[in-house]
Amino acid sequence: MLRITKDRRLKYSSIGVSVRPECWDFERNKPRRNCPNRLHIERLIADKIEAYRTKMIELQAENKEFTATSLHERVADKTSKRTVGEVFQAQIENLKRMGRTGYALSHQEVCNSLLKFNGHLNICFSDIDTVWLKRYETWLRGQGFSENTIGRRFRTLRAVYNVAIEEKCVKPDCYPFKSYKVSKLHRATAKRAIRKADIMRIIEYRCDDFYRQFAVDLFAFGYFMGGINFVDIAYLKTDNIVAGRLIYTRRKTHKLIRLPLQPKAQEIIERYRQDGTSFLFPILSAFHKTEQQQRNRIHKVITKVNRALKEVGRTLNIPIDLTTYVARHSFATVLKREGVSTSIICESLGHSSEKVTQIYLDSFENAQIDEAMKHLL
């Protein structure tokens, strides 16, 4: 044990080894010559003493007060013995409590993937080094995952590793993502925007099949209303329309959106208005009470809608697979091609983060947005 004394207060710190009494020189406080591993033990003691001296000098240089106990805690920098699996599960539960169900599901997906790869997660974060990460990457490629899917899984793993560092489950020195760059696991996706003429053909498409027509109308609504995401459309209610504007908070970025309600969009809303429900579109209802029920319902509907849009796209010979997200990309691209300032609406396909586009959009007056959106038809 090392004894630390400051201001007449003591703190003992173990160096983690022990020797028999007959092998220890009590007068000189060092192992005797006949002590097994004598040189190794002397080195441990010297390193420990040096660590305390270095930390003391550092604190004194910064004029920071410390006690024997706080000095010990700074040098020891104890880490908890929580495993990778335990931290993952704790983070998943924490995200659920925060209402971030989607993010929790993505964490669960990565956790399941790691279990399948490693067989168990009863390992320390320090076991996840550069070699381990490269093996996991090779395994994912062998499973046939795309570059961007692999990148998303590694970004989630990196986020959990950062949580583990914050919670002192692993020392920062072990951080493997300094040398293993997750940024390399990204491939630019093909543009999903289409020409204005093709958009008009889709919007003007009519048929007797309810789901196919519903899919086309949702595509049109998304295009006319600022490229609004399908999930946000699902949650729209009558009280989101105020003084001729659509006002809602994006569920993904939590940004408040205020857009002029386009006449064509109003027509679509009226087409699906139902008595006894506050939702603008027949996606969610009062039956879907829990967030999980809502997520399941949205997933079910968007699958059907995108399937119907692909059929419409093939019928109209649209050059790419048609989905609700094409409307979002096309909204940004059409305004860009019409000469609308990138300061008003940034071309979303050129951004690495959707938040950047939304921050720019939020920073302008309603009149500027109103003028920009006149170019949609």
Q: Give every CB contact of residue 368 below 8 A, 6+ residues apart in sequence.
A: 344
Residue 152 one-letter amino acid: R
Look at residue 362 and tell me whether its pLDDT is greater than 50: no
- The answer to whether 162 and 155 have CB atoms below 8 angstroms apart is no
Residue 374 confidence class, pLDDT cut points 50, 70, 90? confident
Q: What is the pLDDT of residue 235?
A: 95
Residues 92, 29 share a domain: no
Inside any domain, residue 190? no
Residue 218's nearest CA partner among 321, 227, 209 is 227
**What pLDDT digit, counting tens, does each position of 285-328 carry?**
888 888 888 888 999 999 999 999 999 999 999 888 889 988 88
Residues 139, 238 share a domain: no
Q: Give every CB contact of residue 23 below 8 A, 6+ residues apart in sequence.
A: 31, 32, 34, 35, 36
Residues 200, 180 share a domain: no
**What pLDDT digit, counting tens, does each position of 175-231 carry?**
999 999 988 886 655 556 678 889 999 999 999 999 899 999 999 999 999 888 899
Q: What is the pLDDT of residue 58?
A: 85
Inside any domain, residue 300? yes
Phi, psi at residue 343, to the nearest 5°? Answer: -70, -25
Look at residue 357 and tell me whether its pLDDT is greater than 90: no
Tell me the residue range of the domain where 149 lies. Answer: 84-184
Inside any domain, residue 189? no
CB-facing half-sphere around the CA of 163: CA atoms within 13 A: 20
- At which of 45, 76, 107 does a domain end? 76
**What pLDDT digit, counting tens, does each position of 8-52 carry?**
888 888 888 888 999 988 988 889 989 988 898 888 888 888 888
Look at residue 165 and tell me whether its pLDDT is greater than 60: yes
Look at residue 342 and tell me whether its pLDDT is greater than 80: no
What Rg do the C-alpha atoms of the chain give, in angstroms? Answer: 30
The domain tally of the chain equals: 3
Q: Give every CB contact of residue 178 below 8 A, 6+ residues apart in sequence.
A: none
Residues 53, 111 share a domain: no
Residue 333 confidence class, pLDDT cut points 50, 70, 90? confident
Inside any domain, residue 276? yes
What's the CATH code of the domain at 342?
1.10.443.10
- At which of 184, 215, 240 does a domain end? 184
Residues 281, 212 share a domain: yes
